[in-house]
Chains A and B, each alone.
Chain A
Amino acid sequence: AQSVAQPEDQVNVAEGNPLTVKCTYSVSGNPYLFWYVQYPNRGLQFLLKYITGDNLVKGSYGFEAEFNKSQTSFHLKKPSALVSDSALYFCAPFTGRRALTFGSGTRLQVQP
């Protein structure tokens, strides 16, 4: 069963505008949730994670994500997008296995 959904294959945003990359999950209990980013010709890099506590998590490169238990969402946000933010973004819940499982990701395209 799919434990994470990123409903948009691609998100386009103009530089300087706020961006949101959506993620919903279907893990039972109190999930651990991660965001990773993949720049061209690179492996994935850790951005941020939610374990417990404050629902707003701040991560690398000015990104943040908000955990919403009632909506089972963990959307990634940034107040002002940069062209260099263009990449593939992966939301990943910890499902109880020994390693993270990832979806197919959302491609973010920031136009100058």
Chain B
Amino acid sequence: ETGVTQTPRHLVMGMTNKKSLKCEQHLGHNAMYWYKQSAKKPLELMFVYNFKEQTENNSVPSRFSPECPNSSHLFLHLHTLQPEDSALYLCASSQESGEGEGNEKLFFGSGTQLSVL
């Protein structure tokens, strides 16, 4: 186990539904991330949170809404999704040194496989 837990593992939803993905890290890290993994495409960075503050929103549509209530939990709220949003959504965490050198190791959860019908 990596210390990063994502629930649910699988989710099927209709385009009019509202659902949330949950991520919890037990590593004491101060940064958390959402990535989207679609087949045969580069991994897409969606959101970054440092010390609970959103520091990056990589031009993600507003139908994806992140929430970081504390350093250990990260949510991704979903509403009125499209079939092309079907993908594996990965959460990751790291301990940022504060120097922004980018050499911090990322720890990933196993992901939520989302299917939008």
Contact = CB atoms under 8 A, between A and B. Distances in A.
A52 B89 CA distance: 32
B42 to A, nearest CB: 5
Nearest to A43: B108
B90 A44 contact: yes
A2 B112 CA distance: 27
Contacts of B105: 46, 49
B103 A94 contact: yes
Contact of B42 (A36, A42, A46, A104): A104
A97 B41 contact: no
Contacts of A104: 40-43
Interface residues of A, number: 24
Contact of A98 (B4, B56, B108, B109): B56
Interface of A: 9, 32, 36, 41-46, 49, 51, 90, 94-105
Contact of B108 (A32, A45, A51, A101): A45
A51 B43 CA distance: 22
Contacts of A103: 42-43
Given A94-B102, A103-B42, 15 more contacts: A41-B110, A44-B92, A44-B108, A49-B105, A51-B103, A97-B56, A98-B55, A99-B33, A99-B45, A99-B48, A99-B102, A102-B43, A104-B40, A104-B41, A104-B43
Contacts, number: 69
A99 B20 CA distance: 23
Interface residues of B, number: 28
A101 B103 contact: no
- Those 4 A-B pairs whose CB atoms lie nearest each other, nearest first: A43-B108, A94-B102, A102-B43, A44-B108
Interface in B92-117: 92, 100-103, 105-111
A99 B104 CA distance: 9
Contacts of B50: 98
A43 B102 contact: no
